[in-house]
Structure 1
Amino acid sequence: MGFRVNSDKILEIERSLSSLSDLNPIQDLLGYLNADGVDGRVKHKTLFVLQRVFSTLLVNGRILGLKSTSDNEAITLTKKWLLDKYTRFFNTLGTLFHSTEHSLRITSLHISMSLLRTESSYISNKTVPPSPQFAIDSFRRIVRPLLINKKPMFDDVRSEWLDKWIGKCDDIRYFFFKETIHLFREFDAVSSPRPKHLTSNVLTLLENLHSMPTHQSEIDEFWVPEIARQEKEQVKESNLEQSKQDNQDWTAYFDQMIADEEEEKESKATDKNSKKNKVRDTISLSAHRAMYSGVWLTMLKCPTGLDVNENRRALIVLHQLVIPFLKPSERASLADWLSDCCDAGGVNALLALNSLWRLMRDHNLDYPDFYKRLYALCDRNVLHVLYRARFFRMLDLFLSSTHLPALLVAAFIKRLSRLSISASPAAIVMLIPFTYNLLKRHPGCMHLIHSDRAVQGVDADMYTFDEPDPMQSNALDSSLWELASHQSHYHSSVNRLALILSQVFSKPNFALEDFLDHAYKTMFDTEIRRKIKTTPATYDGKSVGVFGGHKRKLDSIADVDEKNAIGSIQGDIVAQLFEF
């Protein structure tokens, strides 16, 4: 059913509401917003009219005014009726976040946040004594429709939400984290599947949030003015306290651990359903860090589990965005989840290694059998996955210590050499420099290339490929006959590079980054740009290069050496493909 209404009608209703004596037209305006047949421009005007009306009613105490003994029954009923319409308006704004019209989505988001600030300021000033407050109920009506819907969050809404609020305003970001945790726990408490796009929406926001404060002085911008004033009053006191902490003696570390434990106990003892808002926490760096890490940990520990894609997206950014903000007690909890990812194998196991290593290196995490698990990930799939380059960057880091046993390093070298037999040329080109660097870094493994078994091949190989423990694989009793076989590989780049293992190890280490991102395309591009130094036996003096035509005639071999670069000849490649 449609409504025959135009902009003039909306303006007429606004004039009738200017005196706030007859509030019944509010019902009509809300009806226009929820109707399907109303023009988008009319809905825009309706939104702004309702914003002005409800803002005025809020400031005048007509909606949320504290109950007074002078209020008669009529006033009480009116406030109840207006509160119901105000709530309904907020819910309508939430549905418009997912409107098909861009301007309606952005306008409804801005209006809802404007009303949130007006409401928060009102209840802050009316509290006895006046103190900063945050309209948490109205904020929840904004967060829930943003995160929960049948379709993913629109890019423009997400960008606006990040740029204008959670990426900029410290109080909005803090309470967004708090409400997101509450939302996750609401569904996890009954072990029911989370709404379809909830985790994906939160993950997308966290991936693009790059404004988490790392120092107390960075918490300086707030959406609610009263919270900003509180922050200015306490900034001097906070700076003084921070300077005292910076000058503490060596016992400060242990004092901080005790404080973190006490804070954690207090948070567990607090009633989850309490509606009291600790607004003062919005100016605390530790509170921001706790909420941020709480969102990540609550999201990852889903009883029904995350899907493979969500796990992968989280693992890609976990070591940079999350681990630096974790408390000691939370790091162990995250390590359990990372261990489960490693045990599951596959690409996610490769990505989980980076975070585990960060916990071990920077936070003294004791992770048993790390190299044994790492060894198990070196299977035939590791040379063909999308994250191959990232894995070998990490593997080079993990094997960089010169204090590792030679037998352990030899097991990795031998296993990768065996895998190279069925690898692509691009992977082999990466493995040879990787092996060369390991041999130079760990001279105890040089026996692998000097062994007599290198010429005897697989028949004299003592290495046990299926042994899960690298220390029991007999790698040092073997040889790198697999890499030696690549000296006769069909691809020129591979066989030339493999010759390096037969020469004196006097060259410096290879820059591994020059080889990690090789693929068929890069190798092909390199090959067709290679200069011809030796004229082919059947050269007719016309064709230049692999795909070149005969637009230029070369008179001599010297001309080829000086001028012929593959790809410099222009022409129809398809027509000239078989011209020799």
Structure 2
Amino acid sequence: MAGKTQPMPATKTNGRAKRSKEAVEEGTATLTEERRLQEIQTALSTSADLNPLYDLIRLAHGLSTKQEPNLVKTLYASARILARSLTSLIKDDRIPLGHVDEEGYVLGGATSTSSTKELSEADRAVRSWLRQRWNESVDLLCSLLGHESQDLRALAIRLLMTLQVAASNFLSGQSSSSKDPANLQARWSESPWRRLITSLLSGAPILSPEKLLVVDRVEELAQDVRLVFAEEYLEKYDDVRFAFCRDVTAQLSKPPPSISQRSDVRSKAMSMMLLLTAIPTQAADLNEFFVPALARAPPGLNKKAKSKKKGPKFAEDGGSDDENGDGGGDDEDDLADWFSDSDNEGRSKEVKQLKKRDDIAGLGSAAVSANEASQQQRRLKRNPPLLEAIHSLRAQKSAFSKAWLAVLLVSRDAEGNALRGELSLAQTHEALVRIHSQILPHLVKPNLLHDFLVDCLDAGGATALLALNALFTLMTSHNLNYPSFYMRLYGLMVADPPFLHVRYRSRFLRLLDVFLSSTHLPAALIASFAKRLSRAALRAPPSAAVTIAPFVWNLLKRHKRCMTMIHREFEGDRFEAGPAGIEDPFDPLERDPLKTRAIDSSLWELASLGATQAAASNQGLPTDGVGGQAHYLASVHSLAKILAEPFTKEKYGLEDFLDLTYSTMFENETVRTLNPRRNEDGTRIVRPNAKEPALAYSLPTDPKRGKRAAAFRLAVDQDEEQRGVTKKQKTMQVNNDTEDDEDREARLAMKEVEEQQEQQKKEQADACNRLWIFS
């Protein structure tokens, strides 16, 4: 044994050496990359040579493809240096940002007042080279949105928005013909904005290692990317929200070729739109702008707003054409056109030129030119310049409306396939939950969602239940004519699965209470809903059945004609008599609530939960076998008894019952059982004729617990037997002192009968106990 080698220590030593070598190599690689980054940063800051920019982009891309955590810090610093360098080049008018293609790539061309013809060949070559580096840098920062590091993803969002504000400010300053800030013609740069929105809606790009071209996209972005963008920019700045809504509509209606075949664009657009909750409701809310050049409102905007406040226009039927109260009229409701990518700042000049031409040409062409001028003016109202649109509440609402309509109203091709993908069931439910409060109040024409809501209603189940609120809002607030609403509502209560078993049960019952609150509804319709609710209570879980009795109580209090359904007799025969009684006239299969004949029926379903027993007890009649058995849960039984009481209470608050679940009911029962009532002196209040629990110990789950349970049962039996013997001895001693022979014989005979009865009960109890012994 002494001469044999022991390989384990050698293996451990080799493992440590290998890990140490890898750590040294990683540290060396990190130091190498940091040193290289410092050299590039020094070269960019001390010389006019732009070639280090190329090296910086390649370095950052190489670091982004490596998985070593030590290199994330270096990549973080390289991205910041890259963004700072590009911002400096933008301020120096070195990058041509004036022309952008549909994908969001800069194509080149002059950005300042001087044209490219005035530049030398060398300057044009440099500008073309910088244009390529700009496009590569934007794609690189967009690719970091899919990085594993959360801090790096947040940094990529912030750096892209920093480049966006620098580019927009520069274009706004270059588009002005004067250096006066009041004459600035604000612009929103399409680069890097369009590439960023494409990445948010279709996934972060994956770049090739050599030419930094987009070869694929990440399937799903991390949720923190969308949250950072929404919380820091989308919810805060009015110009960012306007531009985002505009691009969502554009990418869903006419997407770029690179994402035209993707089937997840609509789903991701829905995820982004659901994060948009801060919607302006008045002109004073438009007060926060990300691009400083867009913060100054155009001079003529206030005058136009005052002129539009003269009053709404009234149609021939007496209704107002200005539904939103801001004087927009038909111009606000017209969603046929959209804000084009160009700003069209010179349209007012074209209108003036047309009018001037009319004056010169004479009366013949004046009419034609006037028509052209009026059409041009209407187009200007529907498609105002960018600065005017951002400061206009009407244009902001129009952008928001078109974005949501593009998301919810699915377009289909000739084969019936949804363009840009379908919405998932979870997303549809999330939109329906928020649509009445977050979407409908801010739409220009909410009635355009009628088809979407009807399709959701046709889907049935929880989707149909959630669509009811928005559809009812359109009916009550926006004059939607939907005469079959209550028929569809009743049909949901008839269909499977039962409506009291679904996830959104409490929400549905709240809405149902609102839908049936009008006292002008027919009594036959109210009776059908009360009957359907009562019948559903027979199969409902206790947390739902406990709500039915207060709900029906409120219905009967509002509609006195339905009170006859509480207690109805036909020739002395009652409905709760069971099969021996008469046939119930209620038709449970009828989908029209006005034809179910529920008004001729009775609420015997609620009576079977305990109302009939309560009524018999109140009348001093025996309750055994009357109206079937009461509900096993005390709270359901107690609430069912209210129908046997006088109708003195005006209304029950349903909120006290709608949120009950199995967990809350269990807590209430355990508190009531484990914390018994006590007297003032602290002694426990014992109810008369209180029964002992059926099981005094838990069921055995293992042999050890089974032995302990058996020992416990044996101890209890011996204790009871000893107490019984002691009691018998005392009784015999008392009886021997007072009774005679005849009394003793009678007592012994009765004792013998009692022992036989106790023996029979014990045998029956033993048979029942054996059913509970599983091990």
Query: The TM-score by the shorter chain falls in which range?
Result: 0.7 to 0.9
Asked if residue 462 in structure 1 is aligned to residue 585 in structure 2, the reply is: yes
Q: Deviation at 1:423?
A: 1.1
State how 1:333-482 maps to structure 2 within 5 Å.
333-379=448-494, 381-452=498-569, 453-457=574-578, 459-482=582-605
| Higher deviation after alignment, 105-114 or 248-257 | 248-257
TM-score by length of 2: 0.65
- In the alignment, the residues of structure 1 paired with residue 33 and residue 654 of structure 2 have an alpha-carbon distance, to the nearest angstrom, of 68
Structure-2 change in CA distance of 1:161 and 1:262 (3 Å) = same
Structure-2 change in CA distance of 1:193 and 1:349 (3 Å) = farther
Structure-2 change in CA distance of 1:109 and 1:212 (3 Å) = same
Structure-2 change in CA distance of 1:144 and 1:495 (3 Å) = same
Q: Deviation at 1:297?
A: 1.2
Match of 1:218 in 2: 285
Q: Deviation at 1:49?
A: 1.8
Question: Which of the residues 129, 134, 141 maps onto 2:195?
Answer: 141
TM-score by length of 1: 0.85
State how 1:154-553 maps to structure 2 within 5 Å.
154-186=222-254, 194-196=262-264, 198-228=265-295, 230-231=296-297, 234=299, 238-239=301-302, 241-243=304-306, 245-246=308-309, 248=311, 251=314, 254=320, 256=322, 259-262=328-331, 268-269=336-337, 278-303=386-411, 304=418, 305-327=422-444, 330-379=445-494, 381-452=498-569, 453-457=574-578, 459-487=582-610, 488-530=630-672, 531=676, 534-535=687-688, 537-538=690-691
Percent identity (aligned): 34
Structure-2 change in CA distance of 1:95 and 1:496 (3 Å) = same
| Higher deviation after alignment, 84-93 or 120-129 | 120-129
Match of 2:77 in 1: 45
Q: Deviation at 1:398?
A: 0.4
Structure-2 change in CA distance of 1:282 and 1:250 (3 Å) = closer
Asked if residue 8 in structure 1 is aligned to residue 35 in structure 2, the reply is: yes
Q: Deviation at 1:148?
A: 1.7
The secondary structure found in structure 2 opposite 1:494 is helix
Q: Deviation at 1:434?
A: 0.3
Is the contact between residue 87 and residue 166 of structure 2 (CA under 8 Å) also seen in structure 1?
A: yes
- In the alignment, the residues of structure 2 paired with residue 188 and residue 42 of structure 1 have an alpha-carbon distance, to the nearest angstrom, of 34
Structure-2 change in CA distance of 1:423 and 1:6 (3 Å) = same
Is the contact between residue 312 and residue 329 of structure 2 (CA under 8 Å) also seen in structure 1?
A: no
Structure-2 change in CA distance of 1:151 and 1:290 (3 Å) = same
Q: Deviation at 1:463?
A: 0.3
Is the contact between residue 166 and residue 172 of structure 1 (CA under 8 Å) also seen in structure 2?
A: yes
Structure-2 change in CA distance of 1:422 and 1:539 (3 Å) = closer
Is the contact between residue 164 and residue 191 of structure 2 (CA under 8 Å) also seen in structure 1?
A: no
Structure-2 change in CA distance of 1:190 and 1:33 (3 Å) = closer
- In the alignment, the residues of structure 1 paired with residue 259 and residue 599 of structure 2 have an alpha-carbon distance, to the nearest angstrom, of 51
Structure-2 change in CA distance of 1:498 and 1:192 (3 Å) = farther
Which residue identity is paired with 1:57?
Answer: L
Aligned length: 536
Q: Deviation at 1:390?
A: 0.4
Question: Which of the residues 32, 35, 55 maps onto 2:87?
Answer: 55
Q: Deviation at 1:358?
A: 0.9
Is the contact between residue 342 and residue 350 of structure 1 (CA under 8 Å) also seen in structure 2?
A: yes
Which residue identity is paired with 1:346?
Answer: G
Match of 1:23 in 2: 50
Which residue identity is paired with 2:254?
Answer: E
Is the contact between residue 96 and residue 104 of structure 1 (CA under 8 Å) also seen in structure 2?
A: yes
Which residue identity is paired with 1:350?
Answer: L
Structure-2 change in CA distance of 1:191 and 1:22 (3 Å) = closer
Is the contact between residue 308 and residue 328 of structure 2 (CA under 8 Å) also seen in structure 1?
A: no
> Unmatched 5+ residue regions in structure 2?
1-25, 97-110, 178-183, 204-217, 345-384, 412-417, 611-629, 678-685, 697-772
Match of 1:153 in 2: 221
- In the alignment, the residues of structure 2 paired with residue 536 and residue 246 of structure 1 have an alpha-carbon distance, to the nearest angstrom, of 78
Q: Deviation at 1:419?
A: 1.4
Is the contact between residue 312 and residue 322 of structure 2 (CA under 8 Å) also seen in structure 1?
A: no
Is the contact between residue 97 and residue 105 of structure 1 (CA under 8 Å) also seen in structure 2?
A: yes
Asked if residue 96 in structure 1 is aligned to residue 124 in structure 2, the reply is: no
The secondary structure found in structure 1 opposite 2:687 is coil
The secondary structure found in structure 2 opposite 1:205 is helix
> Unmatched 5+ residue regions in structure 1?
544-577
Q: Deviation at 1:11?
A: 2.3
Structure-2 change in CA distance of 1:313 and 1:539 (3 Å) = closer
| Higher deviation after alignment, 386-395 or 137-146 | 137-146
Is the contact between residue 166 and residue 173 of structure 1 (CA under 8 Å) also seen in structure 2?
A: yes
Q: Deviation at 1:25?
A: 1.6
Structure-2 change in CA distance of 1:529 and 1:128 (3 Å) = closer
Is the contact between residue 188 and residue 194 of structure 1 (CA under 8 Å) also seen in structure 2?
A: no
Q: Deviation at 1:261?
A: 3.2
Which residue identity is paired with 1:370?
Answer: F
| Higher deviation after alignment, 527-536 or 440-449 | 527-536
The secondary structure found in structure 2 opposite 1:210 is coil
Which residue identity is paired with 2:468?
Answer: L
Which residue identity is paired with 1:371?
Answer: Y
- In the alignment, the residues of structure 2 paired with residue 121 and residue 457 of structure 1 have an alpha-carbon distance, to the nearest angstrom, of 82
- In the alignment, the residues of structure 2 paired with residue 191 and residue 397 of structure 1 have an alpha-carbon distance, to the nearest angstrom, of 44
